[in-house]
Amino acid sequence: MTISKDFLWGGAVAAHQIEGGWNEGGKGISIADVMTAGKHGVERKITDGILDGENYPNHEAIDFYHHYKEDVAMFKKLGLKCFRTSIAWTRIFPLGDELEPNEAGLQFYDDLFDELLKNGIEPVITLSHFEMPYHLVKKYGGWRNRKLITFFKNYATVCFKRYKDKVKYWMTFNEINNQVHYQRDFSVFTNSGIIFKEGENREEIAIQAAHYELVASALAVQIGHQINPEFQIGCMLGVVPVYPYSCNPEDMMSATKAMQIRNGWYLDVHCRGQYPRYMEKYIERKGFVLDRTDEDFKILQQGTVDYIGFSYYFTFVNKAHHNAPNFDYNEHTDKVKNEYVQASDWGWQIDPLGLRYDLNWLYDHYQLPLFIVENGLGAVDEISNQQIQDDYRIEYLKAHIQAMKDAIEIDGVEVMGYTPWGIIDLVSAGTGEMKKRYGLIYVDKDNNGTGTLKRMKKKSFDWYKQVIESQGEIL
Q: What band does 163 get if pLDDT is binned at 50, 70 and 90?
A: very high
Rounded mean pLDDT, 12-30: 98
C-alpha distances (whole Å) from 343 to each of 260, 378, 402, 430 are: 25, 11, 19, 17
Cβ 134 vs Cβ 34: under 8 Å:
yes
Residues 6+ apart with CB under 8 A from 244: 251, 252, 254, 255, 317, 318, 319
> What is the rounded end-to-end Cα distance, in angstroms, of the chain?
18
Task: Report pLDDT digits (tens) over 416-444.
Answer: 999 999 999 999 999 999 999 999 999 99
What pTM does this model have? 0.97
Q: What band does 356 get if pLDDT is binned at 50, 70 and 90?
A: very high
Amino acid at 217: S
| Amino acid 59: pLDDT | 98
Domains recognised in the chain with CATH numbers: 8-469 (3.20.20.80)
Q: What band does 358 get if pLDDT is binned at 50, 70 and 90?
A: very high
Rounded mean pLDDT, 358-376: 98
451-459 own/partner pairs: CB under 8 Å, 24+ apart: 453/62, 453/63, 453/67, 455/67, 455/70, 455/71, 455/74, 455/424, 456/383, 456/386, 456/388, 457/74, 458/381, 458/388, 458/390, 458/393, 459/387, 459/388, 459/389, 459/390, 459/391, 459/394
| Amino acid 418: pLDDT | 98
Cβ 174 vs Cβ 127: under 8 Å:
no
Q: What band does 330 get if pLDDT is binned at 50, 70 and 90?
A: confident
| Amino acid 323: pLDDT | 84
Catalytic residues: 175, 374
Q: What band does 414 get if pLDDT is binned at 50, 70 and 90?
A: very high
Q: Could you tell me which residue, 38 or 2, shows the higher pLDDT?
A: 38
| Amino acid 22: pLDDT | 97
| Amino acid 355: pLDDT | 98
Instruction: Please say if the pLDDT value at position 332 is more than 90.
Output: no
Task: Report pLDDT digits (tens) over 29-66.
Answer: 999 999 999 988 888 999 999 999 999 999 999 999 99
Task: Report pLDDT digits (tens) over 67-95.
Answer: 999 999 999 999 999 999 999 999 999 99
C-alpha distances (whole Å) from 365 to each of 119, 263, 331, 409 are: 37, 11, 23, 19
Question: In the predicted model, what is the mean pLDDT of the chain?
Answer: 96
Amino acid at 344: S
| Amino acid 1: pLDDT | 60
∠ CA 411-13-50, rounded to 5°: 140
Cβ 108 vs Cβ 25: under 8 Å:
yes
Sign of CA pseudo-dihedral 99, 104, 108, 114: positive
Task: Report pLDDT digits (tens) over 252-294.
Answer: 999 999 999 999 999 999 999 999 999 999 999 999 999 999 9
What is the spatial distance between Cα 123 and Cα 84, in angstroms, rounded to a whole number?
Answer: 6
